[in-house]
Amino acid sequence: MSKAFVKESDADDEDPEQIPALPPGTKNYMTRAGWARLKAELDQLVRIDRPALVQVVSWAASNGDRSENGDYIYGKKRLREMDKRIRFLIKRLETATVVDPVEQENVGQVFFGATVTISDAESGIDETWQIVGVDEANASEGRISWISPLARALLKAREGDAVRFQSPAGLREIEILEIRYE
**How does pLDDT run across 53-84, given as a tens digit for each residue?**
999 999 888 887 777 788 888 999 999 999 99
Q: pLDDT by residue (tens digit) across 93-102? A: 999 999 998 8
Nearest to 117 by CA among 65, 162, 167, 179: 179
Q: Report d(CA 98, CA 43) in Å as an integer.
A: 18
pTM of the model: 0.77
Domain boundaries, the chain: 27-98, 101-181
143: enclosing H helix or E strand: strand 143-145
Instruction: Grade residue 92 by pLDDT with cuts at 50, 70 and 90.
Output: very high
Domain 27-98 has CATH 1.10.287.180: yes
CATH architecture of 101-181: Roll (3.10)
User: Under a CB-based contact definition with an 8 Å cutoff, are residues 146 and 112 in contact?
Assistant: yes
